[in-house]
Amino acid sequence: MKPTILKNTHIIDPLQNLDKKADILIENGKITKIATQIQQTKDKTVVDLKGAVVAPGFIDMHVHLREPGYEHKATIATELASAVAGGFVGVACMPNTNPAIDDGSIVCYIKDQSEKTLNGLIDVYPIAAVTVNRDGKQITEMAELSEAGVVGFSDDGNPVGNAHIMRIALEYSKMFNKPIIQHAEEKSLTHDGVMNEGFVSTTLGLPGIPTIAEALMIQRDIMLTVYCGGKYHVAHLSTKLGLELIREAKRNGLPVTCEVTPHHFTLTEEEVRSFDTNTKMHPPLRTQEDVDAMKEGLSDGAIDVIATDHAPHSYDEKQVEYLYAPFGIVGLETAIGLSVSELVKPGVLTLAQMIEKFTVNPRRILNLPQATIKAGENACLTIFNPEEEWTVDIQRLKSKSKNSPFHGRKLFGKPVGVINNGRIMIG
């Protein structure tokens, strides 16, 4: 990377409480100077960012890369390209691959594949399974997996359903200070459900998933965390009921954190009326009351992180009857747009608060080094233009799969580029 001047940037760095317009000089992958005007010279590349926001590099802590095992849905290479297009410098990938990420060799495989992609521009942080083969019976070799570099543990796609196994996992993982990331769902209450249970499921004749299925599991897990410690993180929170439990737990000083997806703060179960299978996800889209609660939780800090639960499925897999379609949608490339449009524009969050939920908080939860915009620091940056309006076109998504319910939606907030590990990708 040639020395580069980023001209006319709007730096927002919540860690330093920094919000100012300046030029940034980057040399050998490091920020060497920040000033109102940096002199252009022949040996330097100049990129005029025309007032775009430059923030510490964004992390998506909930991504399904699908490789190994489901390369027809997505590969590490395609989804990292999707992450870059979405403005992320890092992703944490979920272990529901085939084989599952439940031993060190698979962690190594994923790290190798990631480093080969885009010259290592994107950091990939594997999350290992809580239990062997994600079947809920025996915890994985967490010590060795931690040494291999995993950042947390989750059986995502499934909950850790058995309370005893969850207790063991919380206790054992304490030794490495790694979070247990729970897909909170009491399965005995959801069995064949495909959408939120309530008036809409009643009128559509679709089997429902009650909100209490999420809340009950969170309730149980909070009790376990009180009893035996550990770091507990709730993946893709979707219900007001669950949020209230987390808020209360935080008030009591427990090490409990959570994330919400852009679709859960944007869409409601009303979308399912179309029977479009891109409205089918786990947890399901909920009610307006839940959507409002998610926004409130983001605003008051009860919700720490925005994560996408990026879940590619091939076109054919989604082109089936509603009951048989797989759960999940892609999210990396619409995350910034939805967050700016649904949260920043209506005043739910400031830009600085939004940025915090994409970088400071996920890095804290996963024990990753913080990125910060300061002379002498590595240049780890996400650049986006919050004022640019664009229209989602699924055909232009970089992800291998196009399963998004947001096709045709107008959004404010467009990713412009990322800089990380001495690599730059802009435009």
Partner 1 sequence: MSLTSRHLLGLHGVPKEDIVKILDSAVSFKEVLDRPIKKVPTLQGKTIVNLFFESSTRTRISFELAQRRLSADIVNFAASTSSLSKGETFKDTARNIEAMKIDMVVVRHQSAGAPHFLSRIVDANIINAGDGRHEHPTQALLDIFTLREKFETLEGLHICIVGDILHSRVALSNIYGLKAMGVNVSVCGPATMIPREIEKLGVDVYHHIDDVIPKVDALNVLRIQLERQEGGLFPSLREYHNYFGVTRDRLDRADKPITILHPGPINRDVELSADVADSEHSVILQQVLNGVAVRMAVLYLLSQSKP
Q: Which stretches of the chain bind partner 1, using CB under 8 A?
A: 197-199, 201-208, 274-275, 316, 319-324
Nearer to partner 1, 161 or 326 (CB): 326
Question: Judged by CB under 5 A, which stretch of 16-24, 122-130, 183-191, 210-218 contacts Zn ion?
Answer: 183-191
CB of 220 to Zn ion, least distance (A): 17
CB of 135 to partner 1, least distance (A): 22
Instruction: Choose the one of Zn ion, partner 1, none that binds residue 183, judging by a C-beta under 5 to 8 angstroms depending on kind.
Output: Zn ion
Q: Which residue in the block uniquely carries the two structure tokens 């524009």?
A: 345
DSSP string, 156-177: TTS----HHHHHHHHHHHGGGT
- DSSP H or E stretch at residue 425: strand 423-426
Interface with Zn ion includes 156 (CB under 5 A)? yes
Interface with Zn ion includes 183 (CB under 5 A)? yes
Nearer to partner 1, 176 or 322 (CB): 322
Nearer to partner 1, 49 or 213 (CB): 213
Distance, CA of 376 to CA of 327 (rounded, Å): 44
| Strand partners of residue 423 | 420
DSSP tally for the chain: helices H, then strands E: 14, 17
Interface with Zn ion includes 62 (CB under 5 A)? no
Question: Judged by CB under 5 A, which stretch of 125-133, 139-147, 179-187, 334-342 contacts Zn ion?
Answer: 179-187
Distance, CA of 307 to CA of 304 (rounded, Å): 10
Interface with Zn ion includes 185 (CB under 5 A)? no
Told to judge if 316 belongs to the known catalytic residues of this protein, a careful annotator would answer no
First and final CA of the chain: distance in angstroms?
16
Distance, CA of 190 to CA of 213 (rounded, Å): 7
Instruction: Choose the one of partner 1, Zn ion, none that binds residue 223, judging by a C-beta under 5 to 8 angstroms depending on kind.
Output: none
CB of 402 to partner 1, least distance (A): 16
| Strand partners of residue 389 | 412
Instruction: Choose the one of partner 1, Zn ion, none that binds residue 201, judging by a C-beta under 5 to 8 angstroms depending on kind.
Output: partner 1
Helix (H, G, I), strand (E, B) or coil at 15: helix
Which residues within the stretch 94-133 sit at the binding site for Zn ion (CB under 5 A)?
Answer: none
Nearer to Zn ion, 183 or 280 (CB): 183
CB of 119 to partner 1, least distance (A): 40
CB of 224 to Zn ion, least distance (A): 19
Instruction: Choose the one of Zn ion, partner 1, none that binds residue 216, judging by a C-beta under 5 to 8 angstroms depending on kind.
Output: none
Distance, CA of 416 to CA of 329 (rounded, Å): 23
CB of 324 to partner 1, least distance (A): 5
Instruction: Choose the one of partner 1, Zn ion, none that binds residue 288, judging by a C-beta under 5 to 8 angstroms depending on kind.
Output: none
Instruction: Choose the one of Zn ion, partner 1, none that binds residue 322, judging by a C-beta under 5 to 8 angstroms depending on kind.
Output: partner 1
Q: Identify each DSSP E strand in 249-405 by its residue range.
A: 256-260, 305-306, 381-391
Question: Judged by CB under 5 A, which stretch of 53-61, 153-161, 242-250, 259-267 contacts Zn ion?
Answer: 153-161
| Phi, psi (rounded to 5 degrees) for 36 | -60, -40
Nearer to Zn ion, 4 or 308 (CB): 308
Helix (H, G, I), strand (E, B) or coil at 331: coil
Q: Which residue in the block uniquely carries the two structure tokens 């939920």?
A: 357
Count of residues that bind Zn ion according to CB under 5 A: 2
Distance, CA of 81 to CA of 239 (rounded, Å): 31
* Active-site position among 192, 221, 309, 316: 309
| Phi, psi (rounded to 5 degrees) for 346 | -80, 0
User: Residue 32 in contact with residue 77, Cβ under 8 Å?
Assistant: no
Instruction: Choose the one of partner 1, Zn ion, none that binds residue 327, judging by a C-beta under 5 to 8 angstroms depending on kind.
Output: none
Nearer to partner 1, 32 or 314 (CB): 314
User: Residue 251 in contact with residue 302, Cβ under 8 Å?
Assistant: no
Helix (H, G, I), strand (E, B) or coil at 338: helix
CB of 156 to Zn ion, least distance (A): 4
Count other C-beta atoms under 10 Å from residue 194's C-beta.
Answer: 23
Question: Judged by CB under 5 A, which stretch of 51-59, 177-185, 249-257, 337-345 contacts Zn ion?
Answer: 177-185
Nearer to Zn ion, 13 or 214 (CB): 214
Instruction: For strands 88-93 and 123-126, give the pairing.
Output: parallel
Q: Identify each DSSP E strand in 151-310 by its residue range.
A: 179-182, 195-196, 208-209, 231-234, 256-260, 305-306
Nearer to Zn ion, 246 or 381 (CB): 246
Interaction site with Zn ion (CB under 5 A): 156, 183
Q: Which residues are designated catalytic?
A: 309
